Amino acid sequence: MVKIIIDKTNGLKKRYKIRTSGYEKEGKEYKTIETTIPAEVTEREARRNKMSMDEFIEKFDVEWTYNSFPGLHLIFVRNKNE
């Protein structure tokens, strides 16, 4: 198990509303719960990769890690189209 330590005292905080999104397929209802990634986070990652925002969004996906600790951990990974 990987231990993830988050310094909440020095972290930037923004609060966003939770939205639901869903669809029905073959009689089953599928739902996702969505929220927003702050633009500053994606802009910072685009700069780190020396890309424009459009290029970064095209070439990267978001990967969430969860279940082994409270909360979620987000990273950006190059998508399979790369």
Residue 60 belongs to a domain: yes
Residue 43 belongs to a domain: yes
Query: What is the domain count for the chain?
Result: 1
Residue 75 belongs to a domain: yes
Of the chain, the end-to-end C-alpha distance in Å amounts to 29
Residue 71 belongs to a domain: yes
Residue 15 belongs to a domain: no
pLDDT tens-place values along the chain, 82 residues long: 667 777 778 777 888 898 888 878 788 887 888 889 999 999 999 999 999 999 999 999 999 888 877 788 889 999 987 6
Residue 72 belongs to a domain: yes
Residue range(s) defining the domain that contains residue 53: 37-82
Structure token digits, residue 81:
């189209």
Query: Residue 69 carries which DSSP code?
Result: S
pLDDT of residue 11: 77
Rounded-to-integer distance, Cα 35 and Cα 20, Å: 9
Structure token digits, residue 74:
């987000």
pLDDT of residue 2: 67
Residue 58 belongs to a domain: yes
